[in-house]
A = this chain, B = another copy of it.
């Protein structure tokens, strides 16, 4: 529970450095991230290093009682390196080179660039291996940003063939697994495989899925090269990476090589990347569930701790619109991250930069060096966190990750990147989105103040009272058996539309859907359809009427199988089961065959939590969320209206009080389920 900041001393005159560091300490900041993108300042000429400025910055950070987090500078190789080795540049699927000029202009699978990476990272690691103020490292920056996750160059072609050889052994096996009889795609040898470059017709989905796996694995291997190099120099400092908001890189795989995961949180930007209208409150402060999903995903990516490595400090440069955040929003976000288990919240960045691509991105200081709105919020957050650290049940020191007390969720939300990728490849309607669909269920859980872990389906589920598994698209018998065991042992499982559709090779099961999950679900999917708004129908569930959206499955319960919980009403599927539930052993599995509106998701999830005995609050309005960590409970108000809480008489308010002002936060020692919205007279 600490506040930090991202600092670029190399952007400013040397004589300003001590002033900056001094002010950071005054604001209560504890971690200073440095060195990102600094390759041309660290190695101005090939093999000629200049560490002086960074040495001095680390010293100053130490002098003022803070810790340094250093970055490997590989996200922005200097021009001299690109000119020497133009083959490190990535290529688009149509063969166009992604040229030098911005950042991320290298291919993860380039052997040349991996060699250069080992050299610069190793040199830096050696330099700072013994420095006590260096707490740890961030590898690179935002792998995959700007659409660079997948590259189509010859190095990738070669690496893909190697990857396929390791996975399939020979062409015959690959032909069989992918089903290459279709459209005459049988291969004679794995050397014939190319990246899925520009073609007139769609590529084979199995190839596309494996190319996504391969591309993600390429990042994992590249990152491992960095983590290994860093740990060779010093095995004590931590190594992390700053992921972006939920996207297409397999964070679980990358995080296996990290001490903890970090992510870069820009609430008013991320909310503009979702489909649908954005409310004024969301433009001003973001959406709490959109943020919460990321916190819960990245917290679970490594061992129960995560950082926000970059926290939005004010207005930003990259979304379509850049409204000013609400008054106090930058403090609210720090609290909200902390409540979700963040060890450190590090604002990006210390001062608005006068040059380059991000001049329209604010900092805690304005370009003129004076405090901006973010500075006040960051200092307030730092002060609050000091109070909270004392109030928290668990003992927290200046330990690595600063997140020993990171919470564990009551409920697991299953998320597999394979499912994301396969559904991106075959969305089958312009209105389907994997993440938006998952957020529907995440929001239903969080509206009831339940702690959520976002974990892969391979995770140990025994500790969870309930499991929600949106679009468990690729499924095999092994997964089905594990889930059946979970339910039979008393677990409550929610499975949704588009589950059990395919095997891990992205080919249909020979059995009716949901394939291996049929027995567990106790019903088949008879038909599916994607529908535009004009063909919307309703679902009636528990006597209430809800809206079915985007995708409808017509369910057929097996004899003696599932009971019908909800049916389509009106339209083509009138009367057909849409929601079913199947008792298995001591638990049950619920299947929702459409994309429910928020109310239907809430009703189904509410019933699930009741059956599972998970303590909840009554449903909160979407802009208010309650979260618990280390015995403390945060009430976060992302809305423009005050929110008043009814708490037990003995509840103590550590921060704020029971009436939470707009865009404000309060922290109490009462449990979430003891709180409720105050009834207005």
A→B interface (CB under 8 Å): 8, 10-11, 37-41, 44-45, 73, 76-80, 83, 90, 92, 94-105, 145-148, 178-188, 192, 194, 196-207, 277-280, 283-284, 315, 317, 320-324, 326, 352-360, 366-370, 373, 426, 428-430, 502, 507-512, 527-532, 534-535, 554, 572-573
**A103:B183 contact, CB within 8 angstroms:** yes
A186-B41, A188-B80 as given contacts; A367 in contact with B102, CB under 8 Å: no
Q: Cα distance A331–B81 when bound, in Å?
A: 63
> Closest residue to A528 on the B side, CB-wise?
B315
Task: Pick from A90, A188, A528 the residue with the most CB of B within 10 Å.
Answer: A188
**A323:B572 contact, CB within 8 angstroms:** yes
A99-B194, A355-B206, A359-B426 as given contacts; A508 in contact with B367, CB under 8 Å: yes
Shortest CB-to-CB span from A72 to chain B, Å, is 12
Interface of A is mostly: loop
Having A78-B185, A94-B96, A278-B534, one finds 17 other A-B pairs with CB under 8 Å, namely A40-B180, A45-B188, A77-B184, A80-B192, A92-B198, A97-B198, A99-B199, A101-B196, A102-B204, A147-B200, A178-B356, A203-B357, A321-B429, A322-B428, A355-B507, A367-B510, A368-B512
> Closest residue to A640 on the B side, CB-wise?
B572
Which residues of B have CB within 8 Å of A373?
Answer: 527
**A426:B192 contact, CB within 8 angstroms:** no
5 A-B pairs within 8 Å (CB atoms) are namely A37-B183, A76-B184, A103-B184, A203-B357, A284-B572
**A98:B178 contact, CB within 8 angstroms:** no
Shortest CB-to-CB span from A138 to chain B, Å, is 15
Cross-chain contact of A323 among B10, B41, B370, B531 (Cβ < 8 A): B531
6 closest Cβ pairs, A-B complex: A179-B355, A102-B201, A182-B356, A76-B184, A40-B186, A101-B199
Q: Cα distance A40–B192 when bound, in Å?
A: 14
Shortest CB-to-CB span from A556 to chain B, Å, is 12
**A95:B98 contact, CB within 8 angstroms:** no
**A510:B315 contact, CB within 8 angstroms:** no
Q: Cα distance A528–B325 when bound, in Å?
A: 11
Which residues of B have CB within 8 Å of A44?
Answer: 186, 188
Which residues of B have CB within 8 Å of A509?
Answer: 354, 367-368
Cross-chain contact of A76 among B183, B198, B205, B317 (Cβ < 8 A): B183
**B359:A202 contact, CB within 8 angstroms:** no
> Closest residue to A362 on the B side, CB-wise?
B527
| Copies of the protein in its oligomer | 3
> Closest residue to A43 on the B side, CB-wise?
B184
Q: Cα distance A197–B369 when bound, in Å?
A: 34
**A103:B357 contact, CB within 8 angstroms:** no
Which residues of B have CB within 8 Å of A41?
Answer: 181, 184, 186
Cross-chain contact of A355 among B101, B182, B530 (Cβ < 8 A): B182
Q: Cα distance A197–B102 when bound, in Å?
A: 10
A323-B572, A530-B321, A531-B323 as given contacts; A90 in contact with B182, CB under 8 Å: no
**A508:B40 contact, CB within 8 angstroms:** no
A38-B184, A40-B180, A530-B322 as given contacts; A356 in contact with B205, CB under 8 Å: yes
**B78:A356 contact, CB within 8 angstroms:** no
A354-B179, A373-B527 as given contacts; A101 in contact with B428, CB under 8 Å: no
Shortest CB-to-CB span from A353 to chain B, Å, is 6
Which residues of B have CB within 8 Å of A187?
Answer: 79
> Closest residue to A82 on the B side, CB-wise?
B192
Shortest CB-to-CB span from A681 to chain B, Å, is 28
Which residues of B have CB within 8 Å of A200?
Answer: 90, 98, 102-105, 146-148
**B98:A199 contact, CB within 8 angstroms:** yes
> Closest residue to A90 on the B side, CB-wise?
B200
Q: Cα distance A528–B373 when bound, in Å?
A: 12
Shortest CB-to-CB span from A370 to chain B, Å, is 8
**A508:B183 contact, CB within 8 angstroms:** no
Cross-chain contact of A185 among B79, B179, B184, B196 (Cβ < 8 A): B79
**A529:B324 contact, CB within 8 angstroms:** yes
Which residues of B have CB within 8 Å of A353?
Answer: 179, 182, 508
Q: Cα distance A551–B106 when bound, in Å?
A: 36
Which residues of B have CB within 8 Å of A148?
Answer: 200
> Closest residue to A93 on the B side, CB-wise?
B99
Which residues of B have CB within 8 Å of A45?
Answer: 188
Which residues of B have CB within 8 Å of A358?
Answer: 182
